[in-house]
Structure 1
């Protein structure tokens, strides 16, 4: 079976009409995302149908990486503050993640991967603010959050293939090699990009799923900075949880000059983003973080780093 056939199989799994686990409010949000004419009132109405989504969305908007001078207490205010497009994409992302957990059989593994996504997204927001990187903070949060969409899709809807890929990763092979081996030359990134385009996410989100983005040529190149931040933060979190000190060194050797970050700053960034993710008080994320033992792993790597 070639990559095109594999991709068609994946699409058949996530096609809304064939996926009972995809809740009605996610389907409605995706339809609104696909329409340039959807209004703030329509989006607010769909979000408010789901109390859990409403609560989670307001938690994220009011958390440290979306900090504002005054708390945002309702969805209409969130739309006004963040903008229609950003709010749509954030709402769809959070709703999809919730449905992924409900739809998948690998509950613990899904929780861990979702926790990694949120920690990485928190890192991206904090990093860009601290280093004054020329990107919109809301955009970089969403792009980093969805960087591993393809991997999530495979984990949720094709868990047997995910386990085969993970076995290879556990044996020291790269994510890209493992995915290509079990997905007939497809990568997790290519799956995520195709699904994101199918759901009409912005091209910035699609491109931010790439693993090895080009380096920015100047400090005003916001698009390439966004792609590099998304790739760096996801890779940093993954290495801190599963990788080696050598891999961490190689990562910082590549991205350190681009983003102006040292090894000491990387550990500080990881701890700060973990605090932000823990403060969200979301059971899924907190469960995933507990299973990852990420704080212990960060301390171990910091203690062994020169």
Structure 2
């Protein structure tokens, strides 16, 4: 597929050397190696990805330095995911505001005043949500200065979903940095969430905030695995890298389950809405009969986010999208380019807000 990728040598005032563009094309060709029959939209996506990666290579060349492995990957024993979820001390403790918000989401008669009162108990969450509401994420015509007003403008369900989803990010501060760069992990997750949200709006299916949160949390199972079983998780990553295979498939091979399964189980344990549980559970393998669109949106958003190379979840390769699900997005090459065209500004603002919590 690499032969089909061509690009300019200058991107947004960043001068890209010809050898950097060549390296970016080579890298993208390898990333797409499991996409065996790309359509015109996937080919356009790969070209866009080359542009993003070449620019990043120019700005941060150290990120692309290869360190050869000198040791054989360790043996990895299978594991029952229920064993992880049964050990409460290994799971992040949920703050009270999170539990209150969960009850509000699941309640049938939550009012705007009730939700505003819950959120206002947590000053940092209040400040964060106001920044989010006043950002390019919503592009509202007038500034919003109170949570009550935010609830009125955005909606009870939408704001509560956003509050619960984003508050999860603060629960994973102690994942080993030598195994996974958490800033890069969340950049990938935020990108996936924003792309899922854009797909949602483009198709007119689902709820944008729900799609965003589903994308934001799609790899949460990987974080739980890293917290609960860091040696096993690191071992699986080393095996996947050594074999040049998809990470989630190697997880199934060695552990007996993948991070999508564990993430879905965790969100179920935390009483998340079923639509978010299923979106996380199925983001690698969406079910055909799924009525809610979020799983399909996140599945395709992950393909796009990984191809653009923004951040990293630990997965190197672009997952080949399910052909039926990909076709259901109705993305022509031009439509793909339009959707990605002004993504940078929204991403930078989202990174600033979400990663400074």
Higher relative contact order (CA 8 A, sep 6+): 2
Query: What secondary structure is seen at the aligned counterpart in 1 of 2:137?
Result: helix
Check if 1:237 corresponds to 2:305.
yes
Check if 1:200 corresponds to 2:268.
no
Query: What secondary structure is seen at the aligned counterpart in 1 of 2:342?
Result: helix
Paired residues, number: 272
Are the equivalent residues in 2 in contact too, given 1:135–1:225 (CA < 8 A)?
A: yes
The offset of 1:99, in angstroms, is 2.0
Aligned partners of 1:106, 1:6: CA distance in 2, in Å?
Answer: 23
Are the equivalent residues in 1 in contact too, given 2:206–2:293 (CA < 8 A)?
A: yes
Aligned to 2:81: 6
Aligned partners of 2:324, 2:356: CA distance in 1, in Å?
Answer: 31
What are the residue-to-residue correspondences of 1:81-100 with 2, within 5 Å?
A: 81-100=153-172
Q: Which runs of 5+ in 1 are unaligned?
A: 288-306
The offset of 1:215, in angstroms, is 5.2
**Residue 125 of structure 1, aligned match among 197, 221, 231:** 197
Are the equivalent residues in 2 in contact too, given 1:193–1:206 (CA < 8 A)?
A: yes
Q: Which TM-score applies when normalising by structure 2?
A: 0.64
**Residue 152 of structure 2, aligned match among 77, 80, 91:** 80
Aligned to 1:292: none
Aligned partners of 2:204, 2:114: CA distance in 1, in Å?
Answer: 34
Query: What secondary structure is seen at the aligned counterpart in 2 of 1:65?
Result: coil
Aligned partners of 1:29, 1:213: CA distance in 2, in Å?
Answer: 28
The offset of 1:188, in angstroms, is 1.0
Q: Which TM-score applies when normalising by structure 1?
A: 0.73
Are the equivalent residues in 2 in contact too, given 1:14–1:157 (CA < 8 A)?
A: no
**Residue 139 of structure 2, aligned match among 52, 57, 67:** 67
Question: Per-residue CA shift, 1:123-165, capped at 9, x if unaligned?
Answer: 1222333x34322222222222222221232234433232122
The offset of 1:198, in angstroms, is 1.2
Aligned partners of 2:142, 2:238: CA distance in 1, in Å?
Answer: 47
Larger of the two Rg values belongs to structure:
2
**Residue 225 of structure 1, aligned match among 282, 289, 293:** 293
| Cα distance, 1:168–1:58 mapped onto 2, change above 3 Å | farther
Aligned to 2:177: 106
Aligned to 1:115: 187
Aligned to 1:186: 257
| Cα distance, 1:6–1:143 mapped onto 2, change above 3 Å | closer
The offset of 1:167, in angstroms, is 1.7
| Cα distance, 1:186–1:13 mapped onto 2, change above 3 Å | farther
Question: Per-residue CA shift, 1:205-259, capped at 9, x if unaligned?
Answer: 111120222458xxxx9x4533211111123212332646xx47x5496655221
Segment drifting more, 35-44 vs 113-122: 35-44
Check if 1:147 corresponds to 2:215.
no
The offset of 1:269, in angstroms, is 3.5
Name the one with the larger helix percent. Answer: 1
CA-based RMSD of the aligned residues comes to 3.4
Q: Structure 1: which 4+ aligned runs deviate by more than 6 Å?
A: none
| Cα distance, 1:152–1:226 mapped onto 2, change above 3 Å | same
Aligned to 2:285: 212
Aligned partners of 2:278, 2:185: CA distance in 1, in Å?
Answer: 20
Are the equivalent residues in 2 in contact too, given 1:164–1:182 (CA < 8 A)?
A: no
Query: What secondary structure is seen at the aligned counterpart in 2 of 1:227?
Result: helix
| Cα distance, 1:228–1:58 mapped onto 2, change above 3 Å | same
Query: What secondary structure is seen at the aligned counterpart in 2 of 1:97?
Result: helix
